[in-house]
Structure 1
Amino acid sequence: MPDSGKPTTPPAAPPAGATAARTASPLSLAVLGLGVFLLVLAPLLAWYVEPRAKVTPVDVDVTTVFTGTGSYFDTGALRTRDRQKITITRHVLGDVAASEKNGRAVWDVSTTVDTPQTLALKDPRKAFQWTVERWVTDRRSNAPVHCCEEAPTRFDGDAYLKFPFDVQKKSYRWWDNTLGAAVPLRFAGTKKIQGYLGYRFTGTVPPTRTGSRQVPGRLVGRPGQGQIQAEEWYANSGIELVVEQRTGRIINASISPHKTLRAPGARRDAVTLLRGEGLQFTPATQRAQVRLARTDSDRLALVGRTLPVGAAAAGGVLALAGVVWVVRGRRAAGSE
């Protein structure tokens, strides 16, 4: 067409602020971003952080005490004394340096058995019985690890000073250091210790020969013989362990050990070396173990359940609110 000669009018410029109106507000984007972050954080806490928090501690320094009534053989009087107080003290000290080198839990364990006379001496070397052990376990599974100068070297089983994490209602093999073997413990319901509910496991050890000891023959009914190798026998008529379910920490333990001597080849006990009926954690030890179990359990529950659930719920709400806010903002901008 021929030019009419009228000037061409350029298209009108968009009103000031129209571009900004079509862009989501910074606050809505921030809400959306926070919601997405929390949704990502929730499974990260549950599937990554919590499993790494479920590890056996290495910096332990714990003393547990059992007490009860029983009998023991008085070597000075050469006779068994009955109805005496028996005290078992176990001190567990973690070897942090050794644990950090190999990623395992290395614990040095000192256990003393005391009578009223030896307890007053406050010296493990003068105790009725003193054993020193070194336990090495996998920090995640609680399985024994054979390294790092462990003692005893035959250590086996699922549990000893603690059970695995997330204890199940099933049987476990508990290592009995006096027997030198693992003992099956059956799940036997629940029990409250100092008001705290735990899983209860029970078992027994039938009379079992565990070794020999040189003694005068007359001590085991062989007066015509001088020194003989008498047989050492061990039984435990009642083992009861109450365990915190999430951490596997033992919050109460009760044992009834019976150690005797027999003449070689004899079928009956000749001497009672030690007998304890229902030796169990003192109330003070129970309270300390419950306090540690509750603290560790709450920490694991926070990381593995409370925070993931809270993060997922809050993240879902914030993400949805952010999406709605952004969409509404764009629609409002488009209708102008």
Structure 2
Amino acid sequence: MNRAVLLRIAACGLLGLGSGLLIAALLLSTYTSSRVRQIPLDLDTTLVSNGTGTALDPASLLGERFIISNDVPLVSQQALSVEQPSNADVVTLQVGTSVKRTDQQQDKGLLLAMVDTVTLDRSTAMAVSDDNHPGGSMQKPRTIEDTKPATNIALPHEGLSYRFPFDTEKKTYQVFDPIAQQAFDANYVNEEDVNGLTTLRFQQNVGYNAEGKLVEPIRYASLYENDEDGEVTARAELWGIEGVDPQEPITMTRYYAAQRTFWVDPVSGTIVKSQEHANHYYAREALHPEASLADYKVTSTESTVESQVAAARSERDRIGLWTRVLPISFTAAGLIALIAGALLGSFGLRTDAALIDPGLDNRGGLFSRRPADTGPMPAAQAETEKLPALRPDLHPDE
């Protein structure tokens, strides 16, 4: 195999490689990009927030009067995991949320608990509700002594839940509140730095106005069949109501309001930090709370923020690798390979032509032919000096 054939083979290989790299770059920036911007299927984390608030002492429910304590330490936990159905298009999140008093041991300080399940579109983070995906459900509350398996109550979700979309914009989003069982606006406020990560801050008001004033509380949506915790009737002395017969039964309605702040990574949609002011109370009139069940304000712990920022950065790196780094690298390498292949192919053609017929290339260079024969060299025509022959008489011996 001569040199020209080897050059042609190498040129074809480089041209093929360059074309393949450019096609791969195009696919990465179009099809693969959309598949990479999806909620991971391996989410498994516990988000912890702590703070203080006013809370009912659960033990007092069996006493002579409901005892409500101020400035009690509280902790809120969200245990998030992935359940079925989860596939290439949707992911189902199960989130167990609890609020406890940390000044009481074990379940004695439990104030609130719920298990929310929602199916989300992996690309838009919007709740999915159709014939194949019920959209969501809530686990029916159980007592501590209840040994029966947990049962779910269908609860179609709307808007976003526990995530924001990829490439989050500076606008208003609808975020579902599982306690109120409906979606409310989460309005963009500003940009803020959280542990070195630039985030978008959103605020959601449920029953409060932007200044934190109670304006339109939500009547608590009970999950019990008989609305057992939505309305409670107890003696006036238990409620602590004075000026009436202590034994008079007083019926109060449970209301709920909340104000939340989300710090969101705009690239991945991960909520890296959150703050919540929630108010659960009983009253005869919606805007006049009389007995507080839990009125608290909690903020993500530093360890939770660090882990969420790390998760957001990891998703950013994954997205950046497949949508920017690899497409740019493949494009650059493809162009270099195409140029090198074209140059090598051109050189191979010249080499092939020179080997087949040296007369086809008279431009000089390594494979240029010798000039045409124009006769003897000028030096061959130059006159030369003739040396005289020796004369015979110069040899005396002869």
In structure 2, C-alpha distance between the alignment counterparts of 1:227 and 1:56, rounded to whole Å: 51
2:278 is aligned to 257
Which one has a bigger Cα radius of gyration?
2
For the 8 Å contact 1:155–1:181, the answer to whether it is kept is: no
Match of 2:264 in 1: 243
SS in 1 for 2:78: strand
Q: Secondary structure at the match of 2:200?
A: strand
Q: 1:133 aligns with which of 96, 112, 116?
A: 116
Aligned residues: 311
* Amino acid aligned to 1:215: T
Distance 1:266 1:210 in 2: 8
* Residue matched to 1:209: 218
Report the CA distance between 1:258 and its aligned residue: 1.4
Q: For 2:159 and 2:128, locate their aligned partners in 1 and report how far apart those are by CA, in whole Å.
A: 12
Partner Cα distance (2:282, 2:231) in 1: 8
Q: Do the aligned residues in 2 keep the contact of 1:261 with 1:272 (CA within 8 Å)?
A: yes
Q: 1:76: how far off? A: 3.2
Selected match of 2:292 from 259, 263, 272? 272
Corresponding residue number in structure 2 for 1:199? 200
Instruction: Map 1:157-306; keep pairs closer than 5 Å.
Output: 157-205=158-206, 206=208, 207-211=216-220, 212-218=230-236, 219=239, 221=241, 223-224=244-245, 226-236=248-258, 238-263=259-284, 265=285, 267-277=287-297, 279-306=298-325
Query: Any idea what the Cα deviations from partners look like across 1:147-195, whole Å, max 9, x if unmatched?
Result: 3583144443432211111211111111122222212111122112222
- Find the partner of 1:108 among 78, 87, 94: 94
1:58 deviation in Å? 2.7
Note if contact 2:125-2:161 (Cα within 8 Å) is conserved in structure 1. no
Give structure 1 stretches of 5+ with no counterpart: 1-15
Higher relative contact order (CA 8 A, sep 6+): 1
Give the Å deviation of 1:259.
1.6
* Cα pair 2:101 2:109 within 8 Å, conserved: no
Residues 253 and 313 of structure 1: is their aligned pair in 2 closer, same or farther, counting only changes over 3 Å? same
> Which structure carries more strand by proportion?
1
Match of 1:99 among 82, 86, 89: 86
Report the Cα distance in structure 2 between the residues aligned to 1:171 and 1:305, rounded to whole angstroms. 28
| CA–CA separation in structure 1 for the residues paired with 2:120 and 2:235 | 42
Q: 8 Å contact 2:24–2:327 — kept in the other structure?
A: yes
- C-alpha separation between the residues in 2 aligned to 1:220 and 1:175? 35
- 1:98, CA displacement in angstroms? 3.2
Partners of 1:235 and 1:257 within 8 A in 2: yes
State how 1:304-315 maps to structure 2 within 5 Å.
304-315=323-334
Does the CA-based 8 Å contact 2:118-2:161 persist in structure 1? no
Distance 1:191 1:60 in 2: 25
Name the CA shift for 1:188/1:283 in 2 (closer, same or farther; >3 Å).
Answer: same
Q: Which moved more, 1:297-306 or 1:207-216?
A: 207-216
Look up the match of 2:41.
58
After TM superposition, the score normalised by the length of structure 1 is 0.84
Contact 1:209-1:231 within 8 A present in 2 as well: no
Shift of residue 229, structure 1, vs aligned partner: 3.7
Q: In the aligned structure 1, how far is the partner of 2:89 from the partner of 2:109?
A: 36
Instruction: State the secondary structure of the residue aligned to 1:255.
Output: strand
Displacement after TM superposition at 1:29 (Å): 2.4
SS of the aligned residue for 2:233 comes to strand
Query: What are the ranges of 5 or more consecutive residues in structure 2 without an aligned counterpart?
Result: 61-65, 139-153, 209-215, 221-229, 359-398
CA contact (8 A) 1:162 1:250 kept: yes
Q: Is the 8 A contact 2:136 2:157 kept in 1?
A: no
TM-superposition CA deviations, 1:292-312 (whole Å, max 9, x none): 111111101100111101111
| In structure 2, C-alpha distance between the alignment counterparts of 1:329 and 1:85, rounded to whole Å | 81
Residue 47 of structure 1: SS of its match in structure 2? helix
